[in-house]
Structures are given as C-alpha cells and as structure tokens.
Amino acid sequence: MDVSISPSTVHGTARAPPSKSYTHRAILAAGYADGAAVTDPLLSADTRATARAVEAFGGSVAVTDDESRLDVDGFDGVPGVPADVIDCANSGTTMRLVTAAAGLVDGTTVLTGDESLRSRPQGPLLDALTELGARAESTRENGQAPLVVTGPISGGRVSIPGDVSSQYVTALLMAGANTDEGIRVDLETELKSAPYVDITLDVLDAFGVDAHRTDDGFAVDGGQRYDPGGEYAVPGDFSSLSYLLAAGAVAAPEGLTLDGAVPSAQGDTAIVDVLDRMGAAVDWDREAGTIDVSQSSLSGTTVDVGDTPDLLPTIAALGAIADGETRIENVEHVRYKETDRVSAMAEELTKLGASVTEHEDELVVYGDESELVGARVDGRKDHRIVMALSVVGLVAEGETTVAGGEHVDVSFPNFFDVLADLGATVRR
C-alpha cells in the first residue's frame, strides 16, 4: 500500500499504542502460567504471532470484542509438541522467545518466518540451547531460520555474546524459570539494547518470577511458577510514541498532547531527552502519563543508540529537519532488524533531499545541507522506516509517497488514522 503525506500541521490529543515489547513478553508469560488476562495489549501482526505460538504449545488466547483484553489459558510451564510448524511471520521477538520455549518441549519444534526473518541471526541462541542439552539447528546451517529444536533442557550455565541481540537473554531467562536447574547467562561482550532486558525483568517480576543480574550477566532460578495474580496491564509504547513526538516537534505550532506515556523500564523513553537536547518544547508529566510537545526550531545533537536501537529511524528523521549536524553513534547492531535500518534511512532520506553520511557504526545527518523535497520512498517492509519517513513527509516540500505503508501493522496498526485525525494530509 502506498501512503502519501503532504506538508501539514498537527494538533490535538493522541494516545500512545500499548507497548509491543511488553505485550510479547506478557503473552508468553501468560502462556508459561496456568493462565492470565493481559489487559491493554497491542494487537499487531507481531504480537499475534506470539499468541499463535502459545496456542501451538497447547495454550489458547482469546481476544475480547473490544480488543482490550487477551484471556490466555496457559500450558503451565510444560509446552507440548506443536502439531505444525510455528510461523513467526516477521517477528524477530517471537522467533527468539519461542525458540527458547521450544527447548522445554519433550520433542521437536520447527520454526520459520518470512523472507526478512529468515535472514536474521539466531546462531548464538541455538548454540546456547545446545550447551543446555537441546538439539538446536538451522536447517541451512547458517544460524538463520528455519530452525529445528528438540528438547527438553534441564537448565545450566551458558555464555553468549551481548552485542547481537538482547532478545537471546530475554528468551533464556523466560524459559529458564521452568527448568529444573534454572539458567545462568554469562555475557561475552557488552550487552547492547540492555533496557529490553530490564523490560523482561519487569514482566517476570509482575508474573512472580525472580530473575536477576549477576557480575557476568543474568540468572533465573529453576522450578518457579508464573502467576501474575489474575491479570497484567501493558503500558504504553515509547518506540511508537517517538513518531508522534517527532511529528509534534516539527509540525505542531499549536501543540500536541500525547496520553499513555506512563514511566516504565522502556529504554526508548530516551526520546524525550533527545528532543529536549535538540531544543524541542517538550514537557513530560510522569505522574499523569502525558507529554506536551510543540513545533520548535531544532538543532542537531549526538545520540548513542547502543541501548535504544529502535529510535534510530526517528532520530535520523529529526536530524534531516533540524539545523546543524545530527550524529547517531553505536549503530552497527541496528543493521540486524527487519532491514538494515542504518542503510535504509541513509538511502531513503537522501531521496528526500537530505545530506547523509553512513559509516559502519555511525550515521550522520547534515540538516543545514538538506533541502527536503517530497519524493517516492521505500519503507523497506519495515514499520519503523515507514513511520519515520512519514514524519519527514509532514515538512518536505510537495508530496511524499511511502511504499509499503501497510507494514505499520507490525507495531502501530492505526498510525495513519491517528496522523490524519491530528490534522495531517494523508492519502492512501
């Protein structure tokens, strides 16, 4: 689906969608439990893939008519052998979390996904499961899906790199609580995207599971039982909120109010500080869970995205609009997402008239040298690229057409409806 955005102003009030990261973990945690209600979930293509995986292991997930709650009957820590291949679609989080869950199965699980997902690295997680006693293989012997995992594991100690994906740690901790011995994860390198493991610890704690940091990494005791005490409420998603905040900072002369901005363990709350440093008029009332932002003269800044890789597209878009130089550092691991987001943003922003220099571990956007003009750009089948380019379309001269607009369904299904409701000129 092509989506065209023309220069527009936005105003009014919008609500952050529920957190995708929290929803994934909560659905699987409810599956590991005897059952639970997950309230205020994000129902997207990615999180539905996790729900299907829970059902494949013997649980069930029912959605209420208003989609405000998921009623999950879990498999109580003992996932059954799936009757069919588990299709994780485009969801890397689903594949990694479910691959570790498959290690608990007394039998064999086969996992696959779409073309993009089948190109993403899974090798360190397969190696860890093998160390723990499972048979965990890539059918093409390249560390990528399709994957075949035969368990069960009983727990133990493993060593993995921390600079590819924090989701390996999350997957092992969530599964480890249901092993006999527990799992200790030692990190061989510095952990990138560390706040995402903090999200995991937060969800595990809410479900009554104790997992903790160690001197060398993380650990979870075995023999624990998942139990949230009935229900678990998902907080708002700051990754998705970042696009609306950016839209407010570049195109809301009368101001924009965003609800659902409740403090949590999400590292992407850093977008508020980034906007502040760029000179945006932004005010976060943490107690009320609201953020007010208005159009401002932005200046470039330097941002390390080692812990916040999902913010790179948003910051790159802001850098193209701001004065001066925006330097985004520590970006190499952002290349292993739905697409190489570093190259994707460099190439697509260039089509819009931005001046961009791409390095292996750095992306530099020169706002002073950019003259943004509408053009046809490719969203690369990546929800975050689509939304970030759409923000630029609000200020680029003429019409900007983003190909692949339907991919926002992964994390923010009604993104373009929200943008239009706020006053943006959006044509689909």
CA angle 305, 342, 187 (to 5 degrees): 50
Q: Which two tokens stand for residue 293?
A: 């932002």
Looking from the CA of 83 toward its CB, the CA atoms found within 13 Å total 5
Phi, psi of 28 (to 5 degrees): -70, -40
Question: Is 159 marked within a binding site?
Answer: no
**Beta-bridge partners for 111:** 86, 147
Please tell me whether the peptide bond between 152 and the residue prior to it is cis, using omega within 30 degrees of 0.
Answer: yes
Q: Is 15 annotated as a binding residue?
A: no
- To the question of whether residue 120 is assigned a binding role by annotation, the answer is yes
* Packing angle of the helix pair 194-206, 167-176 (nearest 10 deg): 20
- Catalytic site residue 210? no
Query: Does 351 carry a binding-site annotation?
Result: no
**118 contacts 147 by C-beta, under 8 angstroms:** no
The reply, when asked if residue 299 is annotated as ligand binding, is: no
C-alpha–C-alpha distance, residues 94 and 244, integer Å: 26
Name the one residue in this structure whose structure tokens are 């999400």: 266
CB 288 within 8 A of CB 259: no
Binding residue per annotation — 297?
Answer: no
Pick from 291, 278, 336: nearest CA to 309: 336
**CA distances for 389 relative to 69, 268, 348, angstroms:** 32, 19, 8
Q: 296 labelled as ligand-binding? A: no
Nearest 5°: the CA angle 148, 127, 304 is 110
Task: Give the 3-state secondary structure of 21-39.
Answer: HHHHHHHHHHHHCCEEEEE
- For the beta sheet containing 60-63, the strands, ordered from the edge strand earlier in sequence to the opposite edge, are 60-63, 69-73, 35-39, 231-233
Residue 141 neighbours by CB under 8 Å, 6+ apart: none
Pick the catalytic residue from 268, 310, 378, 382.
310
**Would the annotation count 193 as a binding residue?**
yes
- The reply to whether 384 sits in an annotated binding site is yes
Query: Residues comprising the binding site for 3-phosphoshikimate?
Result: 20-21, 25, 165-167, 193, 310, 337
Residues with a catalytic annotation lie at 310
Residue ranges at the known binding site: 20-21, 25, 92, 120, 165-167, 193, 310, 337, 341, 384
Residue ranges at the known binding site for phosphoenolpyruvate: 20, 92, 120, 167, 341, 384
